[in-house]
């Protein structure tokens, strides 16, 4: 089963890290991602640009509204994501708990809903 692991961290905490601390965190994360790829768990991992680059799109009564910033007011922002394969939720939680960023933020673990039939084609377009 697929799970999306969303890496949530206060951007202020990340920018407060020294260069050597930041480099060590990235190196440790890269090594862990390499191990997950090798074990067949990791499908894809991508970091995200800072929240200052985010835009939120809403459609209400047919009118499109675009605002700057993340989708919700929150202390922690989604900094990246990892799409993994895991046997079950317990295994996905174990994988998430080993990410170095979980020590300074959180990892939200969410099952990916499998779309059936024509819904899959519509979602892909």
For 64, how many CA atoms within 13 A lie in the half-sphere containing its CB? 4
Helix (H, G, I), strand (E, B) or coil at 75: coil
Q: Is the pLDDT of residue 51 over 60?
A: yes
Structural domains for the chain: 2-124 (3.30.70.1060)
Mean pLDDT value across the chain: 88
User: Of the given ranges (9-13, 44-48, 92-96, 108-112), which has the lowest mean pLDDT?
Assistant: 9-13
Tell me the pLDDT band of 122, cut-offs 50, 70 and 90: low
Strands annotated E in 86-123: 106-111
What confidence tens digit (pLDDT) does each residue in 63-111 have? 999 888 766 666 778 889 999 999 999 999 999 999 999 998 899 999 9
CA 101-105-111 angle, 5° bins: 80
């Amino acid at each position: 089963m697929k799970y999306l692991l969303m890496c949530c961290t206060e951007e202020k905490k990340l920018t407060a890290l020294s260069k050597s601390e930041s480099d060590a965190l990235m190196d440790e994360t890269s090594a862990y991602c390499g191990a997950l790829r090798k074990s067949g768990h990791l499908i894809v991992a991508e970091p995200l640009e800072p929240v200052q680059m985010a835009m939120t799109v809403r459609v209400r009564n047919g009118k499109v509204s675009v605002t700057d910033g993340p989708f919700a007011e929150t202390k922690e922002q989604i900094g990246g994501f990892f799409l993994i394969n895991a046997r079950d939720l317990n295994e996905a939680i174990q994988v998430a708990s080993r990410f170095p960023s979980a020590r300074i933020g959180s990892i939200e673990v969410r099952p990916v809903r499998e779309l059936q039939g024509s819904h899959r084609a519509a979602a892909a377009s």
